[in-house]
Every structure is written in C-alpha cells, then in structure tokens.
Chains A and B, each alone.
Chain A
C-alpha cells in the first residue's frame, strides 16, 4: 500500500491546527484586564500588590488581571499618552485629582452602579466619612477611594529629648522649638522646593483655617489666614531654623536630612518612618495636630482612588475586580507598608494599625482633620491637578525658603493660579 507522505503531512498539519485552536478556545474565553498601580510605598508594596493580583487570578480563572507598577515620575504623561494612543488600562490607581481631570477629558468611566451596589449592601459605610462623596463630580462617582494620603508633623524624639524640649502642640511652640534645636549643622525644620515642599504651604493654610478657594470655588490665595500661615513659615526661615538647603532639596533630600538627624521636624506622610532603618524608626514620633494662630487645626489630605477607564471593553469584569480589590487589599499595608492610610475603616482595626502608636494616633487624630488643596471648596475639581503640579506653589515655596518676602510672591502666585484655574 502506497502512502502519500505529502497528504499525511498536510492532514497532520490540519489536525495540529485544529487541536491548537481547540486548546486556545478557553484562553480566548479568559478576559484580560490591565491594572496600573502607582508605587505607593517601599519596594515590598509592589511585590505585595502583585501577589494580591495573583490571588485574584487564581480565584477567578475566567479573568486574568495584569499588574503594572507605575512610577510617579512623569505619571501624568504616562496616562495621557496611553489614553491618546488607545492603550489605557482598564483601571488604575492614581493621583488625588486624576479621576476628575481625566473625566473632564472623556477618559474616565463613572462607577455610579458600583457605588449604588456598595450602598445597598451597607459596605459603603466602611469608608471614611466624606471620602466617597468627595469623588462625586459632575453628578457622577468618578472613582472609588482606597486610601487617604495625609500630611502630618513628624519629629525626632532623640533631638527633642537631648534638648529637653517637649513636643510642640501649637505654632508658637513649634517655632520656638525649631529655633532652640538649630545649632551647627543641625536645623529645626527640613523642607524642600518640590511638590512635597508645597505641601507645607497647603497644610499650614488649612491649619490656620484658610485655603486656596472659597465655597464657590473662587481663588482666595491672598486671604488673610493664608498670608498669616505663610508669614509663619517665613518667620521660621528668617529665624534660621529651616535648613538652608531646603529650597534646592527634593523630597528625597528633605527626608534624608530628617532621617539622618540633621533636622528635628518634617511635614510628611505617615509612611515616612517605614522607609528608615529600625533604629531611625524608633526615633520618629508624630506631633499632635498643631493649633494655628487662631486655634484652628487641620492639614492637607488627598483621597487616593481607583478609577475605571472609558477604553475598557470589559466593564463588568473590571467592576468585579475593583470590588474584590477594595475588599481584599489590606495586605498592601500589613505586608506592603503602603504610605497613605486605608480609606476602609475596618482595616484600621488590624493590629498593624492598632498596635502602632504612630499609626493609631494618625488614624484617630489626623484623619478627621484632613482637607484637600481645594479647601474650602466642596469636592474636588480638575483645576486642582494642574494647580498642584504647575509649579506656581512650588515656586512660592522656594521663594519663602530662600527668605524672600511673602506678600509679593503670594500676589504673583495668585495671578498665575488664576490663569490655571480658568
């Protein structure tokens, strides 16, 4: 019997092709979601987030989530170019005002139905008061909160103890302590001329009952309370109590100076101590929320959230993952040491928070006082992103840290901010 080798080979190939198509069928049924997550903590943060995604993938074989850690450098360009190129993720975490800014540009899918579901089940009550409503924009919920990034005053216990100075409780005490702790190459306060440095201005303004906006979202940069707050910082600079390197420092430089004990006070996030050695961590304490000139208390805070993009072709699956992630993300703190504080209050009951004097103090005393950079305007709005990133407030911070007069700088800043807000 003659065998047609060519025929056998052709049939073999067809059989192989059919088999591979059948084998590929389940893979095609699997929905692939792209989740982009900012780097919210030390290296272990992204590792923990990846493990969490792996857990979800194992529990949900029909959905395959691909995790990508996005560095903060040039984050806005990363998202805008991806959206422009049609390669946006299905969902992402992001900067505090990112969802409203991208929503205005037609890139964000509202999650009203998800919020309604969480409300119906009572799960919405688990979120810190105001955090969900803060993300309601133009009548829609544009993202779901997952964390609150807040600025708190941290201090070096060793430096204060050596000088026999009690932790300050108000501005006057802070200024006096900073002056007393300045000697040689050690300074009372370390600040920086970058975005992190501008947080000093926002925090002090809010602390003094001021803010960049009024309730009608009109700019009030030169309001007396703001001027007082900035004059207070300028006073500490003129005392010589702020490290002269501050105007040129970036946040890493400012933090290094504090962690090395070259400065006694710093305004930073609750996660800063976790970035230090165990010995340095032991030496860091948190000041009570300071009373401003008129007895007000407060600080700046951002509600960090997870948003869904219009370009997603799998909204139902994305929503499913978002719900799961929101409920199961506690390891991001307990193992990943995420910097911001959880938006879900049930997470605050974990020993990671309860047993830490610093974290539990921040949860109880600082979180209720946090206001956005849009204070005293309700909610958040797109201009806040440009306002924070533009450099006007950074430039003002640098001028104050250089020892220049506040008044002219503030007037100039208001003129520039008006063009941004318009």
Chain B
C-alpha cells in the first residue's frame, strides 16, 4: 500500500513527461541525429560524425549569420527597451487620453506579423514608397532601403524594434506601477531631482524585470524568422541573414539537412545558455 502511494506523484507526472518527450525531446534528438548524418529530408545519408559542424565552422556565411544574429539581438534589445521604457514612463504619468494611448501602443504587438512586416516593406520598397515620398517632400533624395546592405539591416532592426517595444512597455509599466510611492516621497524630502529619483529609485526597482525582459527579448530576436524573411529574405547579399534563416536555407533550399540541423543545434546551444542565465536570474531574484 505504501509503495503504491509513493508512485502516485510519478503517475501524475507521466502525461506531462510524455508530452514533453513528444514535442521537445523527440524533435531535439532527431535534429541532433540529422546533424550527424549526410542526406536529405526524405533520405537520410551515412553517418558523418562531426563533419557537418566542421564544415559549418569553415563557412563564412555561418560566421556572418552569427554576427548578424548578435547585432540584431543587441540592436533590438537596446532599441525596444529604451523605447518601451520611455513610453512606459509616459503612460505611468497622469496624462490625458492615457487609456487610449496604452491600447494604441499595443497595436504593433497585436497586428499579425505577416500584415505588419509586409506593410513595412511596402513603406520602403522604392523611390515611390511612402517613406521616400516623405523624404522628397522634405527635399531629400530617395533612399533605396532594400537595395543597400546597411539600409536593409537598419530596416530589419527598425521593424523588429517596432514589433517588440509594446511587450517591453507593458512589462515595464507593470514594474513601474509596482514601485512603492513612499520611496519617491522619501527622495523628494531628501531634495533629489526627478532625474536622481529616476536613477536611484526607478531603475534599481526595475532591475530584475529589466534583466528578465532583456534575456527573453534576446532569445526571441535570435529566434526570429519572419521579420528578416518577409522584409528582405535575408538579402541583399546575405546582409540580413540570421542563423534561423540560414538553417532554413540549408534544409529547405539546399536540401542539405545535416548542415542545416547543425546550424539549428548551434543556435539551440546559444539559446539554452541564455535560458540558463534567465533561470539563474529568476532564482536569485
């Protein structure tokens, strides 16, 4: 009787373990297995050991995609955080139409990505696109945003920041509303300026939520497929190809599932590292 009671908690865990095994462990192990073989999606080839990883390390496209993924993540985290924080501070103040603006600023997050990203592409497509017409009105020459490596990267960063800041704003606003008002009153009595209150009360109080948000946003940006894919397809000249797009290209276009899976596994290791930092951070806080 005692033994049956001891097994009961494990029995309750079984459905979850089975589900996790099915949707996480099995695809992960299959992916690792693919990365150690040659072949295509329909016909797995011979075992090649770490050859796919060796080939990857010697591929300049991989290093470029890794670099772009890191820059993309940093640009988005910094941009979305600063924009999100700025708007959260405004939304936390007693301004007219606050309810309306709170909903309005959430729109970029709510609109389906295919709609918003394709609309952005239309906005900057060529000399007659709305952004260039605006530049023309201001007396400036048109910018061919999608034809230049640097401008294409800027557009990808801008669209990603635009799509990401509402989440930052919402979370930071929740953080701001959780700060004890008496702390501000105490600093006011001590004669602190608004900037000093922000620096020595607001920011330390937002520290934990900010770290978690930044790590989450880094993971989501490195994992982002649709933003660069829908705006530039990774071009021009691979300028906006991140690791996820590269894995997609190898698996579905080149039909080299082994190398594509190796790219995915390397990405997985990077993201797991970030997730571990996140978990540690949560435990500490």
Q: Does the CB pair A399–B145 fall under 8 Å?
A: no
Q: Which 9 A-B pairs have the closest CB atoms?
A: A248-B146, A245-B126, A247-B147, A398-B236, A248-B147, A105-B42, A389-B253, A244-B144, A395-B237
**For residue B252, which residues in chain A have a CB less than 8 angstroms away from its CB?**
74, 76-77, 80
B140 → chain A closest CB, angstroms: 15
Q: Would A84 and B41 count as touching, CB distance under 8 A?
A: yes
B52-73 vs A, CB cutoff 8 Å, 1 = contact: the mask equals 0000000001000000000000
Contact at A185–B147, with CB atoms within 8 Å?
Answer: no
Q: Does B84 contact A (CB under 8 A)?
A: no
* Interface: B235 (CB within 8 A): yes
Which residues of B, 22-76, contact A by the 8 Å Cβ criterion? 40-43, 61
Distance between Cα atoms of A223 and B128 in the complex (Å):
39
**B interface SS class:** loop
| Contacts of B222-272 to chain A: CB distance below 8 A | 232-238, 249, 252-255
**A194, B233: Cβ atoms under 8 Å?**
yes
- Contact between chains at A247 and B41 (CB < 8 Å): no
Q: Is B172 an interface residue (CB 8 A)?
A: no
**Interchain CA distance A185-B40 in the complex, whole Å:** 47
Report Cα–Cα, A21/B233, bound state, in Å: 53
Q: Is A101 an interface residue (CB 8 A)?
A: yes
CA distance A220 to B234 in the complex (A): 26
Q: Are A390 and B147 in contact (CB under 8 A)?
A: no
Taking a contact as CB atoms under 8 Å apart, the answer to whether A399 and B237 are in contact is yes
In the complex, B148 has a CB within 8 A of chain A: yes
Docked Cα-Cα span, A244 to B151, in Å, equals 13
Residue in contact with B126 in the complex, picked from A105, A253, A386, A420, CB distance below 8 Å: A253
Q: In the assembled complex, how far is the CB of residue B101 from the closest CB belonging to chain A, in whole angstroms? A: 34
Q: How distant is A417 from chain B, measured CB to nearest CB, in Å?
A: 11
Q: B152: CB under 8 A from chain A?
A: yes
A390–B253 CB distance below 8 A: yes
Is A106 located at the chain interface by the 8 A CB criterion? yes
Q: Which residues in window 127-151 of A have CB below 8 A to B?
A: none
CA A245 to CA B253, docked complex, whole Å: 26
**Additional A-B contacts beyond A248-B145, A391-B233 (4; CB < 8 A):** A245-B125, A389-B254, A394-B235, A402-B149
Query: Beyond A105-B40, A248-B147, is A76–B253 a contact (Cβ under 8 Å)?
Result: yes
30 residue pairs A–B, Cβ–Cβ below 8 Å? A74-B252, A80-B41, A83-B42, A105-B40, A105-B42, A105-B43, A106-B43, A107-B42, A243-B126, A243-B127, A244-B127, A245-B125, A245-B147, A247-B146, A247-B148, A248-B126, A248-B144, A248-B146, A249-B126, A250-B233, A253-B125, A257-B126, A262-B128, A390-B253, A391-B233, A391-B249, A394-B235, A398-B147, A401-B147, A402-B237
Given the known inter-chain contacts A106-B42, A185-B127, A248-B152, please indicate yes or no for A391 contacting B146, CB distance below 8 A. no
A:65-82 near B, CB below 8 Å: 74, 76-77, 80-81
Q: How far, in angstroms, from A76 to B253 measured CA to CA in the complex?
A: 8
For the complex, what is the distance from the CA of A248 to the CA of B123, rounded to whole Å?
A: 13
Chain B residues with CB below 8 A from A81, complex form: 41
What 1/0 flags go to A216-257 for Cβ under 8 Å of B? 000000000000000000000000000111111110010001
